[in-house]
Amino acid sequence: MKIIDKNLKKGIVKLIPENLDDLWHLYNIIYEGDEVYARTTRQIKPDEEYGRPKRGERVSVFLGVKVEKVVWDRTLNRLRVHGAICQAPEDIAGKGTHHTLNIPVNKPLTIVKEEWKEHHLERLRRASEAASKPIIVVSLDDEEYCIATFRQFGIEIKVNKRVKLPRKMESEKRSKAVKEYFKEVLKALKDVWNAAEKPPITIIGVGFMKNEFAEFVKNASPEIAQAVADVKSVNSSGAAGIYEALRSGIFSKTLKHMRVVQEAAAVEELLEALGKGERNVTYGLEEVKKAVELGAVEKLVLADTMLREAADDERLQIEEITRKTEMKGGKVVMVSTEHEAGKKLLSLGGIAALLRFPIE
């Protein structure tokens, strides 16, 4: 994310999203009631009072909308920001009518909020510092393989396939089959790697298959081999192995800058405390609200959908909870529901907290 200008006294931030992860961050920053300004196309106002503009008669114009709805269109890699026009040139049919701003990668925009929360600013800081490339993970054993990309917003499974190799007793057949298997995995990996701008790769798996594959890659594709940052063991194969590795912290070295890893760690910390029956954790809106009022919240963990999809009254409550948490020195962690950790948090009501001290 490129921050062009920032005037927090006036609530103004001008920026440019530089990749798909940045669009995801903006999706979680822009709320109903904010104002968003960007260049767009709009039908020109007809000359006659009751005339209609000709079809397709559109001009490029700089507009502002009072946000009513934000949609993240992953198919077309853009945000759609819909709302009532609050600023438009006089010759454009507009103020008070509705318009949708399409925000793709590399398009400048301006966001105006009444107040920028600390967790919003922290999200912008992380986005501006984060590497633009994703991380690729290959999880394999002798029964299946899975290739996934890790982005700031979560995990995208690109390939997930089961295989059937000859038994170990049939050594000659198995050796040939394994070689063909590795060729297949490498070809799929190359396709994903090239499409994702050649990012770092981590190979994980059960037993020695992962090591054998890493060795095969060294000989078969030196360029890919140079991108392999780590080879690690897990107890499960395929997609299950990837989620296991994320939970266990195996990716902490190669993915330390990735928001998805930090979010997963926060949720695992909550679940571990709950599993042990510790009293320094609470969950659910009312319980967390009580803990915040007492100044007991050290870390507030919140599902991203809680603010985007809540009714007005509930959203105001949640905003007040985040404000008071930050005001009293607590940290706010927003968790994406695009990955496993976010779904687990939703099962706890979408909001939970680690406490400085137990409360009754």
pLDDT digits (tens, 9 = 90+) for 186-229: 999 999 988 767 788 999 999 999 999 999 999 999 999 988 98
Range of the domain at 144: 135-257
C-alpha–C-alpha distance, residues 197 and 192, integer Å = 9
* Higher pLDDT among residues 118 and 8, named by residue: 8
CATH code for the domain of 332: 3.30.1330.30
360 located within any domain: no
Residue 333 and residue 244 share a domain: no
Q: Give per-residue burial for 238-254: e unless 16+ CB within 10 Å, then b.
A: bbebbbbbbbeebbeeb
Residue 241 and residue 155 share a domain: yes
Residue 213 and residue 153 share a domain: yes
38 located within any domain: yes
Residue 17 and residue 100 share a domain: yes
185 located within any domain: yes
C-alpha–C-alpha distance, residues 8 and 121, integer Å = 10
191 located within any domain: yes
Number of domains in the chain: 3
> Which residues share a beta bridge with 99?
83
What is residue 168's predicted lDDT score, i.e. its pLDDT?
Answer: 80
**Percent residues over pLDDT 70 in the chain:** 91
Residue 113 and residue 27 share a domain: yes
What is residue 48's predicted lDDT score, i.e. its pLDDT?
Answer: 45
39 located within any domain: yes
Residue 192 and residue 145 share a domain: yes
pLDDT in tens, 235-281: 998 999 999 988 887 776 666 556 677 788 899 999 999 999 999 99
Q: Model's pTM, two decimal places?
A: 0.58
What is the mean predicted confidence (pLDDT) over 69-92?
86
What is residue 190's predicted lDDT score, i.e. its pLDDT?
Answer: 94
What is residue 166's predicted lDDT score, i.e. its pLDDT?
Answer: 87
Residue 110 and residue 38 share a domain: yes
71 located within any domain: yes
* Higher pLDDT among residues 96 and 108, named by residue: 108
**Closest by Cα among 303, 2, 261, 252 to 127:** 2
Instruction: Kindly report which listed range (95-99, 147-151, 195-199) carries the lowest average pLDDT score.
Output: 195-199
* Higher pLDDT among residues 358 and 310, named by residue: 358
Instruction: Kindly report which listed range (21-25, 177-181, 221-225, 228-232) carries the lowest average pLDDT score.
Output: 21-25
177 located within any domain: yes
Residue 147 and residue 30 share a domain: no
CATH code for the domain of 247: 3.30.420.60
Residue 100 and residue 32 share a domain: yes
272 located within any domain: yes
**Closest by Cα among 224, 210, 76 to 136:** 224
What is residue 50's predicted lDDT score, i.e. its pLDDT?
Answer: 45
C-alpha–C-alpha distance, residues 61 and 83, integer Å = 16
* Higher pLDDT among residues 63 and 28, named by residue: 63
Residue 101 and residue 18 share a domain: yes
CATH code for the domain of 100: 2.30.30.870
Residue that terminates a domain, selected from 129, 151, 180: 129
Residue that terminates a domain, selected from 111, 129, 147: 129
**Closest by Cα among 27, 256, 28, 22 to 127:** 22
Residue that terminates a domain, selected from 73, 96, 129: 129
What is the mean predicted confidence (pLDDT) over 124-148?
85
Residue 200 and residue 104 share a domain: no
pLDDT in tens, 151-173: 767 788 999 999 999 888 888 89
Residue 184 and residue 163 share a domain: yes
Q: What is the mean pLDDT of the chain?
A: 87
